[in-house]
Structure 1
Amino acid sequence: MTVTAQRVLCLCGSLRRVSSNRAALEAARQLAAPTLELVLYEGLGALPLFSPDDDVDPLPPVVLALREAVGRADALLIACPEYAHGLPGAFKNLLDWLVGSLELPGKPVLLLNTAARGSYHAQEALAEILTTMSAQLLASQPLPVALPGAGCTAAQVLASAERCAELRAALDVLADALPVA
C-alpha cells in the first residue's frame, strides 16, 4: 500500500529575507517525515492590498493562487513575527484575502512561536483571527521554537538539537491530526 503524504502549506508572516520564522519553516520542511509534504508559500509580498471591492471574480491572479494553495493543503503551519505587539501588516493582508474564501474554514492550522523572549500579543491576535475565520487550531497555544531572533538561518536551526526537538514535536502534532491517506 502506498501512503500519500499530507500536504502542509507553510505560511511565513515575515517579508524579511533572512527571517527566523522562515528559517523555522524551512528547517521543519527538512525534518518532516515522508508522510508530510511541507510547501513554503512564497507570495506574501506580491499580494495587493485587500479591498472588499476587489474580492470578486475575477480575483487578482496572486490572490487566486493563494486561495488555490490553501485549498490544496491538508493543513497550514504558520510562523509569524510580532511587530509592535501586533501582526505584520503584510500577513494580516494575506489573512484578509482569505476571509471571504471557502478554502480556509475547517482547515487544520498549527502556529509556531519562534520568539525566544516570549512574544505573545501577535500570537493571541492570530489565534483569535483564525478562530473567527473558522480555522481548526490544532493546539491551544502556539508551539515554541525558541530562536535567537532576526537573521537566523535554517542551517542554524538544524544545528541545534533543542530546536530540532521543538520542530519535531510540532510536526508530530500535525501528523497526529491528519488522517493517513
Structure 2
Amino acid sequence: MTEAHPTAPATPRPADVRLLHTADLAPATLTAARALLYDVFDDMTAEDWEHALGGLHALVHEDGELVGHASVVQRRLLHRGRALRCGYVEGVGVRADRRGRGHGAALMGALEPVIRGGYDLGALGASDEAAAFYAARGWELWRGPSWAFTPHGIRRTAEEDGCLYVLPTPATPLDLDADLTCDWRDGDLW
C-alpha cells in the first residue's frame, strides 16, 4: 500500500449516492434535505422545496451527514405541438464546506441515467454560476423563447430565457430554437 505524500491534498473518492423516492425517505432525511437546501440557497422558498418532492432524490452522505441533494420530478413540457414527459431536476445543492469533491457530479451522474431511460428529455433552470457545470455534462442551453401554462392562459416567461438547459434523449429530437412551454405550478414556474 502506498502512503500519500503528507503535503499532497487527498484525492477525493467518488461519492456514494443513494437514490430514493420521496415516499421512501425517512422524515429525518426529508428534514435534513430541506435544511441543506435552505442553507445552500439564500432565496429558497417553501414552493421551491415543494418542487423537489414527488420524484427520485439523489443523496450524498459523508460521515453520516447529508452533504448533497438533487431530485428529478416529472413535468410536462410542450414542444412543437407535442407534450413531452420531462424529468425536471430540482434542488441540486452541496454543503459549502464539501464542495469541490465531485459530489455535484455524482448527484447528476445518478439522475441522468434515470432521465435518459424514463423521460423524453431532461430540463432544469441553472444559475449563472452552475451553467458551465451543466454544459460540461452534456446539458444544452435552450435558445428559444420560454412560456408557461397558467390559470390565465399561456404566458411568456422571458426572465427564464438563457437559464434553461435540456438533456436530450436519442428518441426525442429537439429544436433548441423553438418555443418551450412548461406546466403550471405555484412559485417559480421553471
TM over 0.5: no
Structure of larger gyration radius: 2
Query: TM range, normalised to the smaller chain?
Result: 0.3 to 0.5
Richer in helix (by share): 1
Higher relative contact order (CA 8 A, sep 6+): 1
Richer in strand (by share): 2
